[in-house]
Amino acid sequence: MTEQFGNQGMVENKEPELSRQYGERTSVEYAQITETDPSKRFVQYPEGLRLLGDVQGKRILDIGCGNGEFTRMMAKSGAKVVAYDSAEKQIKLAQEKEIEENLGIKYFVADRPAISPDEKFDIATSIMVFPHAKDQAALTEMFMQVSEALNSEGKLVSVTTNPDFKRFGEIAHNRRFTKSDDGKNTKVEFFDGLGNFKFDVTGTFFTKADYEQAARKAGFKSIEWQPLSIDQKGIEEMGPEFWDEYETDCPYVGFVAHKE
Ligand SMILES: C[S@@+](CC[C@H](N)C(=O)[O-])C[C@H]1O[C@@H](n2cnc3c(N)ncnc32)[C@H](O)[C@@H]1O
């Protein structure tokens, strides 16, 4: 039995947890920024869609979908999407939206794909989920489960924390990244547009070699690291100063792995 969000929601799960869990406040705050945060709106989501290419008619599994902001974008682009998240509250928010918008997305609460072995996907997506894996073994297990859920030509398209990011300790673009003394964890503090602290999330720091090793163990053959760009609309809305050095030392990166 796994406890999440204090006493708010309990998820049945006999397997050991793969990921660190958010506190309730962090989870609620995170759901609130998906529509407003510049890095999410103008980098992670549009670049995630760009890396996916044409998704018309594709079967997509969205891992760690949160409140479903990106999930809905894929469904609106013509994909048939199944999505899950370990946080019950996030899935509740996603389902409420689904009732309003009726995009045909199926959501469930889980920290593993938990789908029938016969149900295979063309693509798996995951936006900012892998840094939540507890350690290298959990990351490898996540990749193995993803690989299992994909068909033989399937691919994983993800956006994650950039292992090469350098500007730790500086507040920039509404964030501050701090690495733990032992180098194993990264804390990300989120600020609003006025510089007020909102919340923080601590994730595991994985190197590129860690990701590649996990993906190869899971049977992925070709692996690409993709630099991310800022959507033009973000430059217009936020102004170029906001994005100073963003693309040259980007906090996020695309990671695409193919099964064949
Ligand atoms: C940073 S949020 C990103 C949410 C969403 N992908 C987005 O970009 O809007 C990370 C999400 O991953 C979920 N998560 C972490 N580990 C997970 C796992 N092993 N399985 C499913 N969801 C997970 C968390 O509950 C959280 O909602």
0.75 exceeded by pTM:
yes
Ligand 1 pocket check: which of 34, 129, 206 to mutate, most ligand atoms within 8 Å of Cβ? 129
Question: Reduced to 3 states, what is the DSSP secondary structure of residue 114?
Answer: coil
Which domains does the chain show, CATH number per domain? 2-258 (3.40.50.150)
Ligand 1 atom with minimal separation from the 45 CA: 8
- Cβ neighbourhood burial of 132 (10 Å; 0-12, 13-18, 19+): buried
More confident residue, 11 or 74: 74
Phi, psi dihedrals of residue 234, rounded to the nearest 5°: -70, -35
Ligand 1 pocket check: which of 132, 135, 190, 252 to mutate, most ligand atoms within 8 Å of Cβ? 132
Ligand 1 atom with minimal separation from the 17 CA: 19
Contacts 24+ apart (CB under 8 A), 97-102: 97/67, 97/68, 97/72, 98/68, 101/72
Could you report the per-residue pLDDT of 32-71, keeping only the tens digit for each?
A: 889 999 999 999 999 999 999 999 999 999 999 999 999 9
